[in-house]
Amino acid sequence: SYSMKDNNRVRQASGRVMAVSPNRSEGYILRALLLRRSGDFTGAEDMVNKALERKQDAESLVLLGLIQQDQNRFQQARDTFAK
């Protein structure tokens, strides 16, 4: 759904994943991708941080760094990429 740019389905899917498995990071990452694509960088960053609270992984950190770059927070992005 995400790659097909079907925002409604992505929103529904991420909501379902977060409801069924609130302790897993995947739903939060999916929602972060959707919010980033729609330009809500603050919301996207919040979702990635929620995902990172559940699971520290390279993919989530890369997404966080990209969102920070989107907001022209380049030093913070470099620090995130270095983790």
Tens of pLDDT, residue by residue over 28-73, are 999 999 999 999 999 999 999 999 999 999 999 999 999 999 999 9
Please count the helices (runs of H) and the strands (runs of E) in the chain. 5, 0
Instruction: Identify the CA nearest to 67 among candidates 29, 48, 41.
Output: 41
Rounded Cα gap, residues 10 and 34, in angstroms: 7
Residue with tokens 């991420």: 14
Render pLDDT for 6-39 as a digit per residue (tens, 0 to 9).
888 888 999 999 999 999 999 999 999 999 999 9
What is the Cα Rg of the chain in Å?
12
**Total number of residues shown for the chain:** 83
